[in-house]
């Protein structure tokens, strides 16, 4: 049928894209992970990855990502919940999202100023009486800025999930004798779990891989998987090792997506 | 709800202040004659003047815009056709195609950047304008597909049957029924592709050569050198542009009736 | 020249390895008549429509249109137009442009298009609505736009896929009259798909009753109502009392332990059969005069009649439509004429069934 013909015609550029920019890059990364610095096939990269230096780095990268995700969730859930109770909730939500449209680097740059030795943060500490602290280039500043960046992304899916909860369900729970807290624990939270999972997915994976933040804010004190990949590809030019770390990052990504996976409902 | 909940309002207020403070902090100091982001010495527009005299920076801005517009345009064309093709497959095949589609959406930027760098190097492709353009097209296509697909699935299949029933050829069906119907989705897709391209740093950072730079990459290298109030001036302008873009986007989508809020990764 | 416009020859439709949707279906459609394909959802009636329209292809078998094989002709080249269940009106076009769609595809002259669209809209009583958006139209109005969009192309056959199912009851009745009237005025063939037996009986020249991918019975509404071929048709069309029985000999049938005179013949002696008696053919009488004795179990007032269920001594339930009132718990008698008894043989083909019925009328003619 000529239906099939036109479909195939539409498909050609898209299929080429899948081949060239989806499948080929993944295969190339896997291929490069088996190439050592001399250009020979070997498992040396994998041996290196399982050495204590890289394992420690991986572990700390996961730890930071976990902290960032957890703090974002703790702040984002009540925010989303309170937002759904406001009068013009769509407008407020929009205002929450606008900062996420601002270029990431500009926000990071702002914090260089804020956390600088003479920045507002330190002036504030001075006034409170704690005195000037080294804020920039610390774990604290890295986590703070990361949470700052990811919060809107965490709020949005949770807000949408909360907003979709049918209000009669709450009446029903009330009617059946549930207290406010029970209603939340037994009805609202389970229903919004999918939103929470999307939020975690949207935060955790980038938190593992963001490298400009570690460079600009953490001053190389924190090395994430992303930083390590960038380092190997663009600084030390050891593409094999970089590709190996990328392979593990991809595996981590699939595991996280599997854990937080749920029935697709569209964006 | 007229119930007073001071705690809730204070909490929300703090969140909003924290979210917006850094942005306004940047803008505030762009008018500082002192040259640092601490201690406001006096009002000046010097940083803006300097910005507009910096031809190198203006060329970078131009590059960024050209890349964004071109990549959004091309990825929209490929993505729309791809989405239409996906819809005509059986459910199982659709899901497989969608998994491939979503790989680049969920992949961390670093991996996209690194793998594209390998790809271009192996293919012997010179890094520069075209490698950046191709990369931006590549990571924008899946977003366009995702923006267009819901519109397509919302369209009743009987509409296509009806058009054919009335004598429409496949080309007629595409131009007279499908494309007009999914126009809001196409606009949303184009707009998303545009913002993805404008905001991208990591992928561009990997695949850009020495001679070519976009705004994000430029800001990064400036920021690594420390504070320069040129960047503040630039960020005020970008903030204004972003707000403008958001307003235009909401106006367009409100009018064409697409629901829901979307944002970049 | 034959009067046949569409012919199906041994058409089977099967998707992948799923069970067949249509199983070896053959029939003919004549010009200028109102046909109804009637059956429960999933019976294959819509598939027949889609095969005629060209939205899907037959797995095996032949489809002829005006004596030309059209199996491979794509939908946009066929001389039929469809009114869809959800109307499938283009939401981005206004009423005028929706109706003009097919004419524009044919690249007709602007003035001609305008005249034809106006005419089609006045045909469905929508003059003056040209500039309206589809959003602004009510369900009934959308229905008319969909019909106008089909008839403006002057097709030889119009296919209607459950077009009234989305309308409320009152509007549906009104549209039934209008559709029937429209078909008569246009003089073209209508093929109407529905699962609503009342709709089918009210509108059609001819009904095809379809179940499980097979045509069970075809005929005029009267034929099908009065002489259902099997239990499915009897049950699906109208309400009926169905019991098992035995054909003792010609003109004598036994059921619920009694023998009754009937008008059926030509079957084997003592052949097991099924008996249908329509509820309106049962008449309430006194207990002693009744041919059947039942105990009244329930009674509902339906406006035009009482709907009474009674249970006989064997436990069979009898549904009675009567203008007389009964009292729940009373024992009453039921009587009926020999013509009220419809005898159905098991697994009888439509061909044999028709032959048997024809032989009765011959018999009647001989008697006179």
For chain C, say whether B152 makes contact (Cβ under 8 Å): no
The residue written with tokens 């098992």 in the block is C244
Give the CATH number of the domain where residue A199 resides.
Answer: 1.10.3720.10
* Contact yes or no for B71/B137 (Cβ under 8 A): yes
Residue B171's CB: how many other CB atoms inside 10 A? 9
DSSP 8-state assignment for residue A136: T
B158 to chain C nearest CA, in Å? 6
Does residue B40 lie in a domain region? no
CA distance A250 to B174: 38
Residue B182 CB contacts under 8 Å (≥ 6 apart), including other chains: B80, B148, B151, B152, B155
Residue of B nearest to C159 (CA): B165
User: Do C194 and C264 reside in the same domain of the chain?
Assistant: no
C97 to chain B nearest CA, in Å? 11
CA distance B139 to B105: 7
Interface touch B164/C88, C-beta < 8 Å: no
User: Do C320 and C249 reside in the same domain of the chain?
Assistant: no
Residue of C nearest to A3 (CA): C74
A11 to chain C nearest CA, in Å? 22
Does residue B42 lie in a domain region? no
CA distance A193 to A171: 20
Residue C145 CB contacts under 8 Å (≥ 6 apart), including other chains: C87, C89, C95, C98, C99, C124, C126, C129, C134, C137
Number of domains in chain B: 1
Residue A204's CB: how many other CB atoms inside 10 A? 24
Domain carrying residue C74: 4-226
Number of domains in chain A: 1
Does residue C231 lie in a domain region? no
B206 to chain A nearest CA, in Å? 8
pLDDT tens-digit readout, C319-357: 999 988 888 988 999 999 998 999 898 888 888 888 888
Burial class (CB in 10 A: 0-12, 13-18, 19+), B149: buried
CA distance B235 to A28: 37
pLDDT tens-digit readout, C247-290: 988 889 999 888 999 888 888 888 999 999 999 999 999 888 88
Nearest to C237 by CA among C290, C264, C273, C201: C201
For chain C, say whether B172 makes contact (Cβ under 8 Å): yes
User: Do C86 and C112 reside in the same domain of the chain?
Assistant: yes
Of A3, A22, A83, Cβ closest to residue B104: A22
Q: What is the 3-state secondary structure (H, E, C) of chain C?
A: CCCEEEEEEEEEECCCCCCCCEEEEEEEEECCCEEEEECCCCCCHHHHHHHHHCCCCCCEEEEEECCEECCCCCHHHCCEEEECCCCCCCCCCEHHHHHHHHHHHCCCCHHHHHHHHHHHHHHCCCCCCCCCEHHHCCHHHHHHHHHHHHHCCCCCEEEEECCCCCCCHHHHHHHHHHHHHHHHHHCCEEEEEECCHHHHHHHCCEEEEEECCEEEEEECHHHHHHCCCCHHHHHHCCCCEEEEEEEEECCEEEECCEEEECCCCCCCCCEEEEEEECHHHCEEECCCCCCEEEEEEEEEECCCCEEEEEEECCCCEEEEEECCCCCCCCEEEEECCHHHCEEEECCCCHHHHHHHHHHHHHHHHHHC
- A chain contacts of residue B112, beta-carbon cutoff 8 Å: 25
Number of domains in chain C: 3
User: Do C163 and C298 reside in the same domain of the chain?
Assistant: no
CA distance A223 to A253: 18
pTM: 0.81
User: Do C221 and C315 reside in the same domain of the chain?
Assistant: no
Residue C95 has pLDDT above 90, yes or no: yes
Identify the pLDDT of residue C296.
93
Q: What is the C-alpha radius of gyration for chain B, rounded to an integer number of angstroms? A: 23
Can you read off the two tokens belonging to residue A51?
Answer: 């050495």
pLDDT tens-digit readout, C30-46: 999 999 999 998 898 99
CA-based angle A101:B60:B72, to the nearest 5? 50
Can you read off the two tokens belonging to residue C316?
Answer: 């069979």
Nearest to B178 by CA among B71, B114, B85: B85
Sign of the alpha-carbon torsion through B157, B159, B161, B163: negative
Interface touch B223/A209, C-beta < 8 Å: no
pLDDT tens-digit readout, B123-170: 998 999 999 999 999 999 999 999 999 999 989 888 999 999 999 988
Q: ipTM score of the complex?
A: 0.86
Of C55, C91, C102, Cβ closest to residue B166: C102
pLDDT tens-digit readout, B159-189: 999 999 999 988 899 999 999 999 989 998 9
Q: What are phi and psi of C292, to 5 degrees?
A: -125, 145
* Contact yes or no for A38/B129 (Cβ under 8 A): no
Residue B258 has pLDDT above 60, yes or no: no
Residue B101 has pLDDT above 50, yes or no: yes
CA distance A65 to A49: 19
Identify the pLDDT of residue C12.
93
User: Do C290 and C270 reside in the same domain of the chain?
Assistant: no
The full DSSP string for A208-262 is HH--HHHHHTSTTSS--HHHHHHIIIIIS--HHHHHHHHHHHHHHHHHHHHHS--
* Contact yes or no for B207/A235 (Cβ under 8 A): no
Does residue B19 lie in a domain region? no
Residue C34 forms beta bridges with which residues? C190
Does residue A105 lie in a domain region? yes
pLDDT tens-digit readout, B181-190: 999 899 989 9
Spans of chain A below 70 pLDDT? 1-3, 262-267
User: Do C214 and C152 reside in the same domain of the chain?
Assistant: yes
User: Do C190 and C274 reside in the same domain of the chain?
Assistant: no
Identify the pLDDT of residue B52.
87
C-alpha distance from residue A180 to each of A189, B10, C254 (Å): 12, 21, 70
Does residue C234 lie in a domain region? no
Does residue A9 lie in a domain region? no
CB pairs under 8 A between A and C: 3
C123 to chain B nearest CA, in Å? 19
Identify the pLDDT of residue B235.
85
CA distance C179 to C192: 10
Nearest to A17 by CA among B105, B138, B42: B138
Identify the pLDDT of residue A267.
35
Interface touch B122/A75, C-beta < 8 Å: no
Identify the pLDDT of residue B260.
40
For chain C, say whether B258 makes contact (Cβ under 8 Å): no
- B chain contacts of residue C102, beta-carbon cutoff 8 Å: 166-167
Does residue A39 lie in a domain region? no
User: Do C330 and C320 reside in the same domain of the chain?
Assistant: yes
Nearest to B141 by CA among B57, B87, B71: B71
Which of B26-35, C69-78, C251-260, C308-317 bottoms out in mean pLDDT, i.e. has the lowest?
B26-35
The residue written with tokens 């964004």 in the block is B68
User: Do C218 and C347 reside in the same domain of the chain?
Assistant: no
Q: What are phi and psi of C83, to 5 degrees?
A: -105, 115
Q: pLDDT grade, residue B37 (50/70/90)?
A: confident
Q: With pLDDT > 90 as the criterion, what percentage of chain C qualifies? A: 56
Q: pLDDT grade, residue B261 (50/70/90)?
A: very low
Angle between helices A193-209 and B109-122 (to 10 degrees): 50
* Contact yes or no for C102/B167 (Cβ under 8 A): yes
User: Do C33 and C54 reside in the same domain of the chain?
Assistant: yes
C-alpha distance from residue A96 to each of A99, A114, A156, B261 (Å): 7, 21, 9, 11
C-alpha distance from residue A80 to each of A113, A157, B115, C115 (Å): 29, 9, 36, 58
Residue B255 has pLDDT above 70, yes or no: no
Residue C348 forms beta bridges with which residues? none
C-alpha distance from residue A105 to each of A108, B65, B204, B224, B258 (Å): 5, 17, 13, 11, 30
Residue C237's CB: how many other CB atoms inside 10 A? 22
* Contact yes or no for A12/B82 (Cβ under 8 A): no
- B chain contacts of residue C77, beta-carbon cutoff 8 Å: 167
Domain carrying residue B116: 54-256
pLDDT tens-digit readout, C9-20: 999 998 877 888
User: Do C319 and C330 reside in the same domain of the chain?
Assistant: yes
B176 to chain C nearest CA, in Å? 9
Residue B193's CB: how many other CB atoms inside 10 A? 28
Identify the pLDDT of residue A60.
92
pLDDT tens-digit readout, C178-225: 999 999 999 999 999 999 998 999 999 999 999 999 999 999 999 899
The full DSSP string for chain B is -----HHHHHHHHHHHHHHHHHHHHHHHHTTBTTSSSSS---B--HHHHHHHH-HHHHHHHHHHHHHHHHHHHHHHHHHHHHHHHHHTS-HHHHHHHHHHHHHHHHS-HHHHHHHHHHHHHHTTPPSSHHHHHHHHHHHHHHHHHHHHHHHHHHS-HHHHHHHHHTT--HHHIIIIIIHHHHHHHHHHHHHHHHHHHHH--HHHHHH--SS---HHHHHHHHHHT---HHHHHHHHHHHHHHHHHHHHHHHHHHHHT--S-----
What is the average pLDDT value for chain B, to the nearest integer?
86
Residue B203 has pLDDT above 80, yes or no: yes
Q: What three-state secondary structure class fits A35?
A: strand
Identify the pLDDT of residue A178.
82
Sign of the alpha-carbon torsion through C216, C219, C225, C229: negative
Chain B residues 142-201 with CB within 8 Å of chain A: 145-146, 149-150, 170-171, 174, 195, 198-199, 201
Sign of the alpha-carbon torsion through B27, B32, B34, B40: negative
Identify the pLDDT of residue B259.
42
Give the CATH number of the domain where residue B212 resides.
Answer: 1.10.3720.10
- B chain contacts of residue A23, beta-carbon cutoff 8 Å: 100
Identify the pLDDT of residue B254.
67
Does residue A43 lie in a domain region? no
Interface touch A94/B224, C-beta < 8 Å: no
Q: pLDDT grade, residue C368 (50/70/90)?
A: very low
Does residue C81 lie in a domain region? yes
Q: What three-state secondary structure class fits A41?
A: strand
């Amino acid at each position: 049928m000529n239906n099939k013909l036109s479909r195939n015609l539409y498909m050609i550029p898209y299929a080429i894209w899948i081949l060239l920019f989806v499948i080929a890059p993944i295969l190339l990364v896997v291929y490069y992970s088996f190439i050592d610095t001399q250009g020979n096939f070997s498992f040396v990269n994998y041996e290196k990855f399982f050495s204590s230096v890289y394992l420690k780095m991986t572990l700390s990268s996961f730890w930071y990502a976990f902290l960032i995700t957890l703090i974002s969730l703790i702040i984002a859930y009540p925010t989303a919940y309170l937002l759904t109770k406001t009068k013009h909730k769509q407008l407020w939500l929009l205002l929450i999202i606008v900062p996420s449209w601002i270029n990431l680097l500009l926000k990071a740059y702002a914090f260089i100023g804020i956390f600088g030795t003479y920045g507002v943060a330190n002036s504030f500490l001075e006034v409170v009486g704690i005195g000037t602290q080294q804020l920039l280039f610390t774990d604290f500043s890295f986590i703070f800025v990361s949470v700052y960046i990811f919060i809107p992304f965490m709020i949005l899916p949770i807000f949408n999930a909360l907003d979709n909860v049918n209000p009669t369900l709450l009446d029903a729970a009330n009617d059946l004798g549930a207290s406010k807290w029970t209603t939340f624990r037994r009805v609202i939270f389970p229903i919004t779990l999918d939103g929470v999972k999307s939020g975690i997915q949207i935060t955790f994976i980038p938190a593992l891989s963001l490298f400009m933040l570690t460079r600009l804010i953490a001053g190389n004190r924190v090395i994430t998987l992303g930083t390590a990949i960038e380092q190997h590809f663009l600084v030390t030019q050891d593409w094999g090792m970089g590709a190996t770390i990328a392979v593990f990052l991809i595996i981590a990504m699939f595991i996280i997506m599997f854990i937080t996976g749920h029935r697709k409902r569209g964006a | 709800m007229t119930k007073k909940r001071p705690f809730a309002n204070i909490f929300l207020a703090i969140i909003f202040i924290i979210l917006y403070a850094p942005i306004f902090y940047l803008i505030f100091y762009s008018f500082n004659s002192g040259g640092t982001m601490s201690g406001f010495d006096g009002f000046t527009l010097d940083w803006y003047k300097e910005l507009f005299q910096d031809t190198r920076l203006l060329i970078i801005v131009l590059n960024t815009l050209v890349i964004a517009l071109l990549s959004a345009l091309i990825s929209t064309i490929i993505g729309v056709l791809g989405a239409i093709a996906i819809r005509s497959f059986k459910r199982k095949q659709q899901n497989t195609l969608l998994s491939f589609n979503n790989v680049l959406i969920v992949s961390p930027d670093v991996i996209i950047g690194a793998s594209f760098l390998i790809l271009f190097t192996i293919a012997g492709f010179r890094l520069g304008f075209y490698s950046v353009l191709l990369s931006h097209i590549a990571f924008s296509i899946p977003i366009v597909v995702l923006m267009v697909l819901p519109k397509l699935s919302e369209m009743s299949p009987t509409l296509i049957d009806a058009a054919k029933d009335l004598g429409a050829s496949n080309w007629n069906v595409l131009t007279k029924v499908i494309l007009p119907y999914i126009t809001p989705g196409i606009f949303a897709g184009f707009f998303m592709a545009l913002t993805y391209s404008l905001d991208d740093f990591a992928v561009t950072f990997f695949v850009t050569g020495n001679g070519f730079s976009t705004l994000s990459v430029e800001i990064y290298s400036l920021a690594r050198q420390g504070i320069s109030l040129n960047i503040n001036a630039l960020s005020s302008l970008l903030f204004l542009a972003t707000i403008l873009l958001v307003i235009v986007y909401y106006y367009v989508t409100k009018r064409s009736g697409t629901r829901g809020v979307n944002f970049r990764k | 020249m034959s009067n046949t416009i569409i012919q199906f020859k041994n058409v089977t439709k099967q998707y992948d390895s799923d069970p067949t949707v249509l199983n070896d279906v053959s029939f003919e459609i004549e010009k200028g008549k109102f046909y109804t394909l009637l059956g429960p959802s999933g019976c294959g009636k819509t598939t027949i429509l889609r095969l005629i329209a060209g939205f899907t292809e037959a797995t095996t078998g032949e489809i002829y249109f005006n004596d030309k094989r059209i199996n491979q002709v794509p939908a946009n080249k066929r001389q039929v137009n469809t009114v869809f269940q959800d109307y499938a009106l283009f939401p981005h076009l206004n009423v005028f442009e929706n109706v003009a769609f097919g004419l524009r595809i044919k690249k007709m002259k602007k003035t001609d298009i305008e005249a034809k669209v106006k005419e089609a809209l006045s045909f469905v009583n929508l003059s003056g609505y040209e500039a309206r958006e589809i959003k602004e139209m009510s369900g009934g109005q959308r229905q008319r736009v969909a019909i106008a969009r089909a008839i403006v192309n002057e097709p030889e056959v119009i296919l209607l896929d459950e077009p009234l199912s989305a309308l409320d009851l009152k509007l549906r009745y009104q549209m039934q009259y209008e559709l029937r009237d429209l078909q008569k005025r246009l003089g073209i063939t209508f093929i109407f798909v529905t699962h609503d037996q009342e709709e089918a009986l009210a509108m059609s020249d001819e009904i095809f009753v379809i179940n499980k991918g097979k045509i069970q019975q075809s005929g005029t509404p009267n034929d099908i109502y009065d002489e259902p071929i099997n239990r499915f048709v009897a049950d699906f069309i109208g309400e009926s009392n169905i019991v098992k029985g035995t054909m003792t000999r010609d003109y004598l049938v036994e059921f619920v332990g009694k023998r009754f005179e009937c008008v059926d013949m030509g079957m084997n002696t003592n052949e097991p059969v099924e008996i249908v008696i329509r509820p309106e053919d049962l008449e309430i009488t006194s207990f002693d005069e009744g041919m059947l004795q039942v105990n009244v179990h329930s009674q509902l007032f339906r406006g035009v009649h009482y709907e009474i269920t009674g249970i006989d001594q064997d436990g069979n339930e009898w549904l009675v439509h009567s203008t007389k009132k009964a009292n729940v718990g009373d024992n009453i008698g039921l009587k009926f004429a020999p013509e009220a008894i419809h005898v159905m043989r098991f697994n009888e083909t439509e061909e044999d069934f028709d032959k048997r019925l024809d032989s009765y009328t011959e018999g009647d003619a001989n008697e006179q």
